[in-house]
Structure 1
Amino acid sequence: MLWNKWIQFYFHLPIIVRLLFSVSLLMLLFGYLIHLIEPSHFPTIFDGVWWSFVTGSTVGYGDYVPLSFLGKLIGIILILAGGGLVTFYMATLSAGTIKHEKDLTDGKVSFKGANHTILIGWNERTKQLIQMFKEQHFKTDTVLIDHTLNKISYQDHHIHFIHGQPTSDETLKKANIEQANFVVITADPSMTEEEADRQTILNIIAARGNHPTVHIISEILTEVQRINAIRAGSNVVLRSNNFMSSLFYQSLFQKDVQVTDIIAKTLEEQQFCSHLIEGALTDHEFYYCAQTYLQEKKWLIGLIRNDEMILHPSFSLIMQKGDRLIYLKGMDLNKRR
Structure 2
Amino acid sequence: MYILQKFFKQLVVNKLGIFSFTFFIVIFSSIVMRILEPETFPGWFDALWYVMTTVTTVGYGDFYPVTIAGRTYAIFIFLIGIGIAGLAIGKLVEALGAHRKRKEEGRLNFKGKGHFVIIGWSEKAKYAISEIIETHPELDIVLIDQLNITPITHKNVHYIQGDPSSESVLLQANINDAQSVLVFSDDSIQDSALADGKTLLVVTSVERLNHHIHSTVEIKKEENIQNFRHAKVDEFVLSHETVSRMAVRSAFSRGITEIYTQLLSYKEGENLFEVKKKGEWKTYKDAFEGLLKEGATLISDGSDLGINKKLNEPIREDARLYIICSKEVYESLT
Which band: TM-score by shorter chain?
A: 0.7 to 0.9
C-alpha contact (below 8 Å) 1:277/1:321 kept by paired residues: no
What's 1:245 paired with? 244
AA of the residue aligned to 2:179:
N
SS at match of 2:110: coil
SS at match of 1:311: coil
1:279/1:135 CA distance change after superposition, 3 Å: closer
What's the CA shift for 1:149? 5.0
1:293/1:145 CA distance change after superposition, 3 Å: same
What's 2:109 paired with? 110
What's 1:329 paired with? 324
C-alpha contact (below 8 Å) 1:230/1:237 kept by paired residues: no
1:315/1:178 CA distance change after superposition, 3 Å: closer
Matched-pair identity in % = 26
Greater shift, 293-302 or 83-92, is seen at 293-302
Deviations 1:65-109, CA, capped at 9 Å, x for gaps: 223333222111111111001101111111222222222222122
Paired with 1:184 and 1:203, the residues of 2 have a C-alpha distance of: 11
1:228/1:25 CA distance change after superposition, 3 Å: same
Paired with 2:65 and 2:46, the residues of 1 have a C-alpha distance of: 12
What's 1:265 paired with? 262
1:66/1:260 CA distance change after superposition, 3 Å: same
Q: How does 1:23-38 map to 2 (within 5 A)?
A: 23-38=22-37
What's the CA shift for 1:188? 1.0
Paired with 1:169 and 1:118, the residues of 2 have a C-alpha distance of: 14
TM-score under structure 1 normalisation?
Answer: 0.80
Deviations 1:243-295, CA, capped at 9 Å, x for gaps: 223213213323xx13322211233332153767989656xxx7787556534
SS at match of 2:324: strand
AA of the residue aligned to 1:332:
K
What's 2:182 paired with? 184
| Structure 2 unaligned spans of 5+ | 1-9
Paired with 1:274 and 1:178, the residues of 2 have a C-alpha distance of: 27
What's 2:309 paired with? 315
Paired with 1:301 and 1:40, the residues of 2 have a C-alpha distance of: 82
What's the CA shift for 1:151? 2.9
AA of the residue aligned to 2:212:
T
1:67/1:230 CA distance change after superposition, 3 Å: same
SS at match of 1:83: helix
AA of the residue aligned to 1:319:
E
Q: How does 1:155-234 map to 2 (within 5 A)?
A: 155=154, 158-191=156-189, 192-234=191-233
C-alpha contact (below 8 Å) 1:105/1:153 kept by paired residues: no
Paired with 1:31 and 1:270, the residues of 2 have a C-alpha distance of: 65
Greater shift, 239-248 or 26-35, is seen at 239-248
Deviations 1:200-226, CA, capped at 9 Å, x for gaps: 111111111222211111111212221
Paired with 2:15 and 2:293, the residues of 1 have a C-alpha distance of: 62
1:74/1:292 CA distance change after superposition, 3 Å: closer
1:58/1:316 CA distance change after superposition, 3 Å: closer
What's the CA shift for 1:43? 3.5
What's 2:76 paired with? 77
What's 1:22 paired with? 21
C-alpha contact (below 8 Å) 2:193/2:221 kept by paired residues: yes
AA of the residue aligned to 1:311:
L
C-alpha contact (below 8 Å) 1:180/1:214 kept by paired residues: yes
C-alpha contact (below 8 Å) 2:216/2:233 kept by paired residues: yes
1:107/1:65 CA distance change after superposition, 3 Å: same
Matched positions, count: 315
Greater shift, 179-188 or 144-153, is seen at 144-153
What's the CA shift for 1:150? 3.0
Paired with 1:36 and 1:280, the residues of 2 have a C-alpha distance of: 79
| Structure 1 unaligned spans of 5+ | 1-10
SS at match of 1:131: helix
Q: How does 1:89-168 map to 2 (within 5 A)?
A: 89-148=88-147, 150-155=149-154, 158-168=156-166
What's 1:54 paired with? 53
C-alpha contact (below 8 Å) 2:298/2:324 kept by paired residues: no
AA of the residue aligned to 1:270:
N
Greater shift, 87-96 or 44-53, is seen at 44-53
Paired with 2:161 and 2:27, the residues of 1 have a C-alpha distance of: 44
AA of the residue aligned to 1:69:
I
C-alpha contact (below 8 Å) 2:298/2:323 kept by paired residues: yes
